[in-house]
């Protein structure tokens, strides 16, 4: 994908640059618990400063304050941490300003021209380094490229290059592992991946709709009855194409009335079952047999893409399947890509986040890119480049 790069901006010296980052980091009690999204754009920011930019106006969203100021989502902790990281690199932080949370203004998510005008006022250049927000047609993403010479930052360019290569020319066998809750949320991604992969491994809540499509009972497990027919169609089409969809052959389930989840006291009996879940029981993880089979597939792959946990990994009783997949991806000899979101959280929980080839900063953005082959933020940058060449 022919995105304009930082070097395409021309002379940066003496210019004022608006930089969109994705600093949507987890914060607990005012403390940043994972600063990856703050550390990654440092290469972009320091390059601009080293090239002599007069000022960098950096902007980001944080959480969901719903269009109005909310102290729970102030960007102040991020600002302090960013300045400390830049200073540690010897950067002149007096030339860097991080604006308050963009989503304090309802115009950000509404792509309000007034907010766009205020962002680009007195700016000379625009750099988008927020891959995690590139699938949103928000003011700070698609607005500035219409008015300023624009380019992709290092994070955004790297994300697109990896995903573009993953889809265009993957080494084979190419294995994708998908988890998460609903088939309907990932139907477009499933269909897009089935055109590319040699095998698709399905876990998480969505596996039960596929299992139902094969005639298995699912008890009280997550089930999208409206998608059972869709899953039957997908299974039939894969069988005809010679590709494979691998589903769980065993399930870890919780007894009727049992409790799980954040803020709840764990309760109930946990059992390992076959692919059929009895009435009242809730499947919450893939079983050890499935985990071993998935790990074997991942080990034999030349390319692996993983997005979505295999179960409710936040609960230790239902974390084994996700941990097994995470360990298999981390130790795989092939090229490994993890699509952000809960998968990235799982890798971090198990201490494996530095053992994959590419860990995406945007779960939703990576999935939409795989499904559609483009994102609003990327299209805006290309259009800016086309205008510059015209």
User: Quick check: is 364 catalytic?
Assistant: yes
User: Quick check: is 387 catalytic?
Assistant: no
CA distance 301 to 41: 31
Write out the two tokens for 379. 């299209």
Beta-strand relationship, 125-128 and 16-20: parallel
Residue with tokens 């992969």: 197
Write out the two tokens for 359. 């860990």
Write out the two tokens for 27. 């914060």
Nearest Cα to 312, choosing from 282, 356, 276, 352? Answer: 282
Write out the two tokens for 356. 């994959």
CA distance 162 to 73: 31
Q: What is the DSSP letter of 131?
A: G
Catalytic residue, from 179, 341, 362, 363: name it: 341
CA distance 65 to 104: 6
Contacts of 344 (CB under 8 A, 6+ apart): 338, 353, 359, 360, 363
User: Quick check: is 55 catalytic?
Assistant: no
User: Quick check: is 341 catalytic?
Assistant: yes
- How far from the centroid of its chain's Cα atoms is residue 298's Cα? 20
Contacts of 84 (CB under 8 A, 6+ apart): none
For residue 134, whether the previous peptide bond is cis, meaning omega lies within 30 degrees of 0, is no
CA distance 327 to 325: 5
> Does residue 206 contact residue 181 with C-beta atoms inside 8 Å?
yes
Q: How far apart are the first and last CA of the chain?
A: 19
Catalytic residue, from 16, 95, 182, 348: name it: 182
Catalytic residue, from 203, 308, 364, 377: name it: 364
Beta-carbon count within 10 A of 137 CB: 16
**Residues 162, 166, 171, 176, CA torsion sign:** positive
Catalytic residue, from 20, 37, 154, 323: name it: 37
> Does residue 27 contact residue 33 with C-beta atoms inside 8 Å?
yes
Active site residues: 37, 182, 341, 364
């Amino acid at each position: 994908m022919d995105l304009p790069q930082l070097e395409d901006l021309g002379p940066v010296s003496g210019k004022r640059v608006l930089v969109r980052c994705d600093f949507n980091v987890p914060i607990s009690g005012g403390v940043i618990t994972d600063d990856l999204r703050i550390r990654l754009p440092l290469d972009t920011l320091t390059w601009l400063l080293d090239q002599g930019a007069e000022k960098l106006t950096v902007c980001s969203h944080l959480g969901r304050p719903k269009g109005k100021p909310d102290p729970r989502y102030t960007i102040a902790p991020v600002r302090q941490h960013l300045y400390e990281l830049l200073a540690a690199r010897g950067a002149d932080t007096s030339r860097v300003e991080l604006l308050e949370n963009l989503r304090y203004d309802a115009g950000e998510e509404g792509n309000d021209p007034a907010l766009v005008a205020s962002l680009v006022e007195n700016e000379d250049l625009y750099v988008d380094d927020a891959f995690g927000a590139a699938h949103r047609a928000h003011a700070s993403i698609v607005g500035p490229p219409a008015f300023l010479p624009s380019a992709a930052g290092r994070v955004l360019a790297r994300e697109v290059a990896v995903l573009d290569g993953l889809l265009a020319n993957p080494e084979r066998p190419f294995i994708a592992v998908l988890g998460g809750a609903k088939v309907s949320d990932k139907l477009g991604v499933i269909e897009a991946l089935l055109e590319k992969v040699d095998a698709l491994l399905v876990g998480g809540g969505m596996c039960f709709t596929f299992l139902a499509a094969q005639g298995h009972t699912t008890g009280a497990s997550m089930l999208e009855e409206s998608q059972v027919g869709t899953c039957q169609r997908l299974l039939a089409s894969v069988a005809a194409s010679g590709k494979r969809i691998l589903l769980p052959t065993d399930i870890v389930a919780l007894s009727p009335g049992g409790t799980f989840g954040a803020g709840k006291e764990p309760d109930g009996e946990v059992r390992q079952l076959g692919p059929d879940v009895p009435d009242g029981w809730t499947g919450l993880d893939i079983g050890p047999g499935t985990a071993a089979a998935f790990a074997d597939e991942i080990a034999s792959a030349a390319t692996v893409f993983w997005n979505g946990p295999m179960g409710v990994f936040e609960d230790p009783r239902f974390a084994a399947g996700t941990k097994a997949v995470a360990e298999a991806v981390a130790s795989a000899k092939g090229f490994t890509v993890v699509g952000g979101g809960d998968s990235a959280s799982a890798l971090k929980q198990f201490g494996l986040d530095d053992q994959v080839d590419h860990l995406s900063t945007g779960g939703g953005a990576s999935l939409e890119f795989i499904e559609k082959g483009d994102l609003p933020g990327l299209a805006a940058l290309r259009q800016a480049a086309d205008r510059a060449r015209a």
